[in-house]
């Protein structure tokens, strides 16, 4: 889908070659800017997915953490934990694991509830 946007911009740039060279240059610059932005957004999404997966796996495989319905969301540089922790220790440990796995450039929002 991203490729089709890039192709459309390229076709537009090529189609404008009959216009003056400044218009063609502007069209090419706009196409390049759109491609760069799409690439950056795709990179962020992939990075967020990687962080989410690392955290989810680490929490789910920790022997001393019991969470029901674990949900890990990563948006921009914020990781949000949701679900139901068996006890306060599980809630706290899950947050510590998330912070360790995410690294210092991410913040962790712990919305885990505690209950049996």
**Residue of 57, 50, 61 lying closest to 106 (CA atoms):** 50
Query: Burial, 22: exposed, middle or buried (Cβ in 10 Å; 0-12, 13-18, 19+)?
Result: exposed
- pLDDT at position 10 is 53
Most distant CA atoms of the chain, gap in Å: 71
Average pLDDT in the 79-106 region?
96
Indicate yes or no: pTM above 0.75. Answer: no
Average pLDDT on 88-96 reads 97
User: 51 with 102: CB under 8 angstroms?
Assistant: yes
CB atoms within 10 A of CB 59: 23
pLDDT band at 115 (very low <50, low <70, confident <90, very high): confident
Angle at 47 between CA 56 and CA 64, to 5 degrees: 15
Inter-CA distances, 34 with 15, 28, 107, Å: 17, 10, 29
Domains of the chain and any CATH numbers: 2-114 (3.30.300)
List, for residues 26-85, the tens digit of each pLDDT value.
666 666 666 566 666 556 666 888 999 999 999 999 999 999 999 999 998 999 999 999
Which of 51, 56, 114 lies closest to 88 in space, CA to CA? 114
């Amino acid at each position: 889908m991203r490729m089709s946007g890039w192709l459309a911009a390229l076709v537009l740039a090529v189609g404008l070659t009959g216009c003056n060279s400044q218009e063609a240059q502007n069209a090419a610059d706009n196409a390049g800017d759109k491609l760069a932005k799409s690439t950056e957004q795709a990179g962020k999404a992939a990075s967020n997915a990687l962080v989410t997966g690392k955290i989810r796996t680490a929490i789910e495989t920790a022997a001393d953490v019991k969470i029901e319905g674990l949900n890990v969301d990563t948006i921009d540089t914020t990781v949000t934990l949701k679900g139901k922790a068996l006890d306060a220790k599980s809630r706290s440990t899950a947050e510590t694991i998330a912070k360790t796995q995410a690294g210092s450039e991410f913040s962790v929002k712990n919305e885990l509830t505690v209950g049996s």
